[in-house]
Amino acid sequence: MNETNSGTIRVGIGGWTYEPWRGTFYPESHPQKRELEYASRQLTSIEINSTFYGAQKPESFAKWYEQTPDTFIFSVKAPRYATHRKVLAEAGKSIERFLSGGVTELKHKLGPINWQFMPSKIFDAGDFEAFLKLLPKRIDGLALHHAVEVRHDSFRTPEFIALARRYGVAVVMDVDSQYPLIADTTAPFVYIRLMGTQEGEALGYPSATLKLWSQRAKAWAKGATPKGLSPLAPAMPDADKRNVYLYVIGGHKVLNPMAASALIKHIG
């Protein structure tokens, strides 16, 4: 979706290599080495997960750039070495190493960077702000868009929301998961992870649920605040428009591409 009065809504999955997708999402005879090429023409975004576990070569990012359409966008999961630590203020070198390690080879296809924290990480305003201060707004001429995925109930406080807004960082919305759903808008973009696809549902989710999230995505894209969610702080003033990144991830993973494709159809 890309209208003059609306931000762009991008819908995708986490990663593109998963054996059970062969013959369900990917055609039976489709070459494995061309799976990204195929997925990027069915979906509009993919969250790269391998970067969370280890460094990727600049050549890999460059190859992914070449294999995807010009309008395709990747979000990138930042390395756990930066976020899985007791003192977040000490993450500077890990952050710098990641950002200078080739990710800019994605060029204009580099979307949000998701900084995911451990479920045991408790909110400490001073330390968390020290971490946010380490996140640069630009690198190699590219604007950077940061999102934080927090997984402890202690983050369910207006103080955290105010901090994220101060630095223009999005709070990832973990939907249908064991983690807290924080539905506040804190940045010029929105980042959602639908994590509850179910076995037995042909599209992973009931059609009504897919329609609901497509409607919410459209509302966010137009700068409005969707109904039916419980924010922790007063809503930000309506914006002209926002970009929205919506990923179907986790849950009954084999059905995630089907759910993502259905969302794209609902959104139009």
pLDDT of residue 235: 85
**Residue 1 included in any domain:** no
Helix ranges (DSSP H) in the chain: 35-42, 50-53, 58-67, 80-83, 92-99, 125-133, 158-166, 207-221, 256-267
Nearest-angstrom CA–CA distance, 226 and 184: 10
Residue 90 within a domain = yes
Question: What amino acid is encoded at 67 in this protein?
Answer: Q
CA quadruple 251, 254, 256, 262: dihedral sign: negative
* CATH code, domain carrying 57: 3.20.20.410
Partner residues linked to 115 by β-bridges: 148
The answer to whether residue 37 sits within a structural domain is yes
Which of 147, 162, 151 is closest to 123 using CA atoms?
151
Pairing of strands 146-149, 142-143: unpaired
User: Residue written as tokens 């494995």?
Assistant: 32
How much is the pLDDT for 3?
A: 53
- Whether 2 is in a domain gets the answer no
* C-alpha closest to that of 150 among 186, 188, 185, 120: 120
What's the confidence (pLDDT) of residue 179?
97
Query: In residues, how long is the chain?
Result: 268
Which contiguous run of DSSP H or E holds residue 11?
strand 9-14
Q: How many CA atoms lie within 13 A of 128 on its CB side?
A: 24
Give the pLDDT means over successive 10-residue stretches in the chain (268 positions): 77 97 95 97 98 95 98 98 96 96 97 98 98 96 97 98 98 97 96 98 97 97 93 84 96 98 96
Please give the tally of structural domains in the chain.
1
Kindly state whether residue 252 falls inside one of the protein's structural domains. Answer: yes
Alpha carbon 265 to its chain's center: 20
Classify residue 3: in a domain, yes or no: no
Which residues constitute the domain of residue 208? 9-267
Q: Does 89 fall in a domain?
A: yes
And the tokens for 220? 């966010």
